[in-house]
Amino acid sequence: MPIWMHGSWMMAETRLGRVEQLGKRTLGLIAEVGYLAALLTESLYWIFAGVFQRQPVRVSSVFAEMMRTGVSAIPIVFLLSFSIGVMLAIQGIHTLRTFGAESQVVIGIALSISREFGPLITGIVVAGRTGSALAARIGTMVVSEEIDALRVMGIQPVRYLVSPVLLAMLVMLPALTIMADFAGLLGGAVYSAMDLGISYAAYADRVISVLKTGDIWQGLIKSAVFATVITLIGVANGFSVTGGAEGVGRATTRSVVLAISGIVIADMVFTWFLNR
């Protein structure tokens, strides 16, 4: 084979290699999405049908998970949401001052907190805390054969480990979001009172008159979707751990990055459909 032909052959081979890589990655992505869907279906199956199979999801486990994922996240969610409320007030007043309409800042704060920042901040905090902890916990159990042990004892790992977390997250994330809404609004109120002299009562009246039930619901529906995304990504990364402690570390990092990306993208998609 002449050298020039050899060169073009090599290029074609490299190109083929890239196409092959792309194909493999696409298939991998489809497989992963399929796995997440199967995981969700199985978790929901045990939540609803476990009782009839005499293998119920333990209420005590659900409460333990609610404490772990929800109650212990209260301080940090409160602090961050309050700060976001203050920041929104600062930026809003600064922008609206150009038009001499700074007293309208309450509308901006109320809507953006309840529709967007409340669920988003809560989701990101919980993804960082619970998503990573789930991946680490389940990954460690995979490495130390605890998952196999559960399976051979006739205990379905998804029922025992995943369903309680999913249920707890579906309750606690919306609950935390409501608290985040309050904290954010409070942050906005504190700064507005300092800068514009709006009284708390007037601020509250304004918020109540601006907000519709739909705005709150929008945030709550989003938070339920985030709860599902965080749980599934954390658990799936945990179950797929290979290669000991290093693998657990990789899965933990991957689950946080993927969960936060998933939340933000899901948020964009939801906002698109709910507001058009």
Partner 1 sequence: MSSVSDRMLTSDPVVEVENLVAHYGSHKVLDGVNLTVNAGEIHIIMGGSGSGKSTLLRHLLGLRRVTSGRIRLLGHELDGVHRSELQELRKQIGVSFQGGALLSSMTVGENVTLPLREHTRLDESTMAIMARMKLEVVNLGGFEHFMPAQLSGGMIKRAALARAIVMDPKLLFFDEPSAGLDPVVSAELDELILRLREAMHMSIVVVTHELESAFRIADRMTVLDCGKILISDTADKVRNSANSRVQDLLNRRPRVEELDADAYLARLTGE
Binding-site ranges for partner 1 (CB under 8 A): 53, 55, 140-141, 144-146, 148-155, 160
Considering the complex, state which of residue 148 and residue 246 has its C-beta at the smaller distance from partner 1. Answer: 148
- Smallest gap from Cβ 137 to partner 1, in A, equals 8
- Smallest gap from Cβ 198 to partner 1, in A, equals 49
AA letter at 159: R
Considering the complex, state which of residue 160 and residue 226 has its C-beta at the smaller distance from partner 1. Answer: 160
Considering the complex, state which of residue 111 and residue 150 has its C-beta at the smaller distance from partner 1. Answer: 150
CA–CA distance, 196 with 189 (Å, rounded to integer) = 10
Considering the complex, state which of residue 121 and residue 147 has its C-beta at the smaller distance from partner 1. Answer: 147
- Smallest gap from Cβ 120 to partner 1, in A, equals 31
Neighbour-count burial of 111, counting CB atoms closer than 10 A to its CB (0-12 exposed, 13-18 middle, 19+ buried): middle
- Smallest gap from Cβ 146 to partner 1, in A, equals 5
What the block records as the tokens of 123 is 């989701």
Residue 253 Cα to chain centre, angstroms: 14
Dihedral sign, Cα of residue 136, residue 262, residue 169, residue 57 = negative
Considering the complex, state which of residue 88 and residue 241 has its C-beta at the smaller distance from partner 1. Answer: 241
Count the Cβ atoms, other than its own, within 10 Å of residue 254: 17
* DSSP letters spanning 9-56: HHHHHHHHHHHHHHHHHHHHHHHHHHHHHHHHHHHHHHHHHTTTTT-P
CA–CA distance, 67 with 171 (Å, rounded to integer) = 11
Q: In sequence order, which ranges of 197-243 are alpha helices (DSSP H)?
A: 200-210, 213-239
- Smallest gap from Cβ 143 to partner 1, in A, equals 9
- Determine the angle formed by the axes of helices 244-274 and 118-126, rounding to 10 degrees: 170
Considering the complex, state which of residue 223 and residue 252 has its C-beta at the smaller distance from partner 1. Answer: 252
- Smallest gap from Cβ 69 to partner 1, in A, equals 15
Considering the complex, state which of residue 20 and residue 205 has its C-beta at the smaller distance from partner 1. Answer: 20
Considering the complex, state which of residue 160 and residue 239 has its C-beta at the smaller distance from partner 1. Answer: 160
- Smallest gap from Cβ 6 to partner 1, in A, equals 19
∠ Cα 62 63 68 (to 5°)? 95
- Smallest gap from Cβ 68 to partner 1, in A, equals 11
**Is 100 in contact with 201 (CB distance < 8 Å)?**
no
**Is 97 in contact with 200 (CB distance < 8 Å)?**
no
